[in-house]
Chains A and B, each alone.
Chain A
Amino acid sequence: MSEVIDRPLRDDEKPAASKLRIVDCDVHPSLHSVEDLNEFLPKRWQQHLKEYGSHLRTPYLFTTPYPRSSPLIARRDAWPPTGGPPGSDLAFMQKQHLDPLDVEFGILQVLDLFIFSQQNLELGAAIQRAINDWQLAFWSHRDPRLKASILVGQDGVDLAIAEIERCAKIGEYIQINVSPRANEPLGRRRYWPIYARAQELDLPLGIHVGGYGGHAPTGGGWPSYYVEEHQSNAHTIAAQLASLVIEGVPERFPKLKIVFIEGGFGWIPSAVWRMDQHFERFRSEVPHLKRKPSEYVRENFWFTTQPIDEPDEARHLRALIEWVGIDRLLFSSDYPHWDFDDPRFAFKTPLTEAERKKIFSANARAVYKF
């Protein structure tokens, strides 16, 4: 837990993480302005956006149903001095984040334009295509540390597959991202062609929390407050983990790697205990599952660390990390958002050098093959 800080950092405290050269699995770039996409968006869709605008599954345009804790959910110190929203200025991102924290690789996670929530699937696919091209042109090609993902909307599976093929040919993308809030739970068969292709291409499936699927973000309905809604990131991912495992995705695609991003990991033990326990009792309902749910979780799933739950007692965090598995955790900062984790101070429990190396770098290097 926190203590009074009344001394400067000693040198041996500073580099603990940075000496390792970290892989940051969740860095958010932003469009400087929507016009940035014009060069990647066919005229037809530019025109469409002008005439009809976005048509999302939620009734709020250019904002979210809950006011956020800070403007653009960003750190107050992350607004570039050159103007533009946080995350939109590469030079500033390098100076504030990539260089001082010695980020060896940073994985881009784009959230702009409610990218997965377009009702018009063709428009959604056009925006995803433009964003995929923009990630390379504006980020990866200008700083090779930054890695792009193939964003696809899984509700138009044929469109998603076409985009995966297009990007796979380019060969620079390191994972395929789908939404945690699609029209149906992620384990459903309608989405399986995407998983099949991901497995063949050996590209991990990335699932970053957030967005709105048109249904309430919690199983209990629409929350009243942002702080209440924020909890739903964990429930949503827990529900998607259960859906993927129990509907048999890792059983059917044993080599598929699935990474849950920004869902934290505090909820994992009880979710998995419960699945295992129910599996013992009800396995005849799901005879397609050959193994206990926990075994699939331990082989096919990884979890990024942020936001790290902060129990009062450090040993509880330690026990949690051990239970989830040092091998399952991938460090992520969520830069430049307000709940950013600083790799030097985020884990309020001691980790050995070997454990740090795994969480901050080696695990991600193995999953993404850097």
Chain B
Amino acid sequence: MARHIVATISEIPPGGNKVVEIAGRDIVVFHVNGEFFALLNRCPHEGAPLEKAACVARLTSPEPGVYERSRVGEMLRCPWHGWEFDMRNGQSWFDPKRVKIRSYPVAVERGEELQKGPYVAETFPVHVEDSYVIVEV
């Protein structure tokens, strides 16, 4: 697996995303509550662009009339037919064993650390004072 510097953290505001092309794949990187998640930018159903998905909460209902929201912003709702996926691992909410978006490991590292690595400024200008989002593909 190669590591790719895809953005500075300030480039992807909370609740936002950035689409990057790595090794011929369109990958979308989301920023949720201080964490970053990288997923293939295609819904496994009919291929909708997930960069347009809604970032929603997990909604559960223990009994009629009572709704609970958890993991706010961490679920993706496809922009077309509304299938929902867990951003952490790409699993679908309704059939997690069979339907899944490919997801990729993400790390956030400081510029100084990056300068020492083998992937320095490969495709991305590095400024040492910043932190960077790294996707492994």
Q: Which residues of A contact B (CB under 8 A)?
A: 1-8, 69-70, 75-77, 338-342, 344-346
Residues 36 to 95 of chain B near chain A (Cβ within 8 Å): 40, 42, 44-49, 52-54, 79-82, 90
A342 touches B46 (CB 8 A): yes
Chain B residues in 8 Å Cβ range of A344: 47
Chain B residues in 8 Å Cβ range of A7: 25
Q: Known contacts being A76-B54, A77-B49, A77-B52, is A3 close to B79, with CB within 8 Å?
A: no
A338 touches B80 (CB 8 A): yes
B100 at the interface (CB under 8 A from A): yes
Q: Is chain A's binding surface mostly helix, strand, loop or mixed?
A: loop
Range of interface residues on B (Cβ < 8 Å): 20 to 34
Chain A residues in 8 Å Cβ range of B98: 1-3
Residues 84 to 137 of chain B near chain A (Cβ within 8 Å): 90, 98-102
A3 touches B44 (CB 8 A): yes
Q: B80 touches which one: A2, A8, A340 (CB < 8 A)?
A: A340
A344 CA to B46 CA, complexed, in Å = 8
Chain B residues in 8 Å Cβ range of A5: 40, 42, 44, 101-102
B44 touches A4 (CB 8 A): yes
Nearest residue in A to B47 (C-beta to C-beta)? A345
Chain B residues in 8 Å Cβ range of A338: 80-82
Chain A residues in 8 Å Cβ range of B34: none
Q: Known contacts being A3-B44, A5-B40, A5-B42, is A75 close to B101, with CB within 8 Å?
A: no
B47 touches A339 (CB 8 A): no
Distance in angstroms from A362 CB to nearest chain B CB is: 23
B79 touches A2 (CB 8 A): no
Nearest residue in A to B92 (C-beta to C-beta)? A2
Nearest residue in A to B25 (C-beta to C-beta)? A8
Chain A residues in 8 Å Cβ range of B49: 77
Distance in angstroms from B63 CB to nearest chain A CB is: 18
Chain A residues in 8 Å Cβ range of B101: 4-5
Chain B residues in 8 Å Cβ range of A2: 44-45, 98-99
A51 CA to B2 CA, complexed, in Å = 67
Q: A69 touches which one: B42, B47, B52, B82 (CB < 8 A)?
A: B82
